[in-house]
Amino acid sequence: MASPRLILASASPRRRELLLHAGYDFEVHPADIDEDDYPPQTLPADIAQRLALLKAQALLPKFPNDVMLAADTVVAFGDRPLGKPADESDAVNMLGLLSGTTHVVITGVTVLRPATHFSISTRVMSSVRMRPWSAKEIHRYVASGDWKGKAGGYGIQDERPDPFVMRLAGSHSNIVGLPMEATAELLGSAGIFPAANGPKTELKLAISPAVAPGIAAE
């Protein structure tokens, strides 16, 4: 029997890059789901895990003999979930809310292998301390278009002359959009491993030198 393919159920270039840098061979087939498909008052962590599962399940009929990998990232401001901004105005409001605060980035990850009835999910949380932004800085960032398709309206990997993340705790790759430590464990359980000759270079993130990994945000 041929080895199953790894199918990434996401159009995110950031998730694709993380998998490539980890040495995985995979195909990209974004799942078309309603990302507002969750009951009212659902907690952010449950939203991330639910949407990741729905994305993976959406591809089951098309790839019954392969392994589906899906993820969904939600920024949590307290119990309030912040997904991808709908437009520039929404992005401005989200960044204004997060400015000068500590928030949590949550990614739900699901791996399915229907041929063996394999299904596993997890969620990973990281905390991010953001420096205060002026209204001018927020509007300049939003005008750049970098907010598009990013939970909370920002990406920690965006190159900035003055980084807006002061401190973080937890998985760096989780904040980018795919916690690679947890993802590798889930994929290994499904029989998917990096190619022996795949790239193993570390993906460098644009984070201020002041950021100290492992130090809890204040």
Cα–Cα distance, 178 to 108 (Å, whole number): 9
Give the DSSP per-residue string, 115-171: GGTEEEEEEEEEEEEE----HHHHHHHHHHTTTTT-GGG--TTS--SS-SEEEEES-
Q: Which two tokens stand for residue 110?
A: 């699901």
Cα–Cα distance, 24 to 13 (Å, whole number): 15
Residues 145/151/152/158 CA torsion (nearest 10 deg): -50
Kindly calculate the radius of gyration of the chain based on its CA atoms and give it in whole angstroms: 17
Q: Is 158 a catalytic residue?
A: no
Q: Which two tokens stand for residue 91?
A: 């992005």
- List 32, 72, 87, 90, catalytic entry: 72
The single residue listed with the structure tokens 């605060």 is 101
Q: Which two tokens stand for residue 194?
A: 């990096």
Q: Which of 131, 138, 141, 153 is nearest to 73 (CA)?
A: 153
Q: Which residues are catalytic?
A: 72
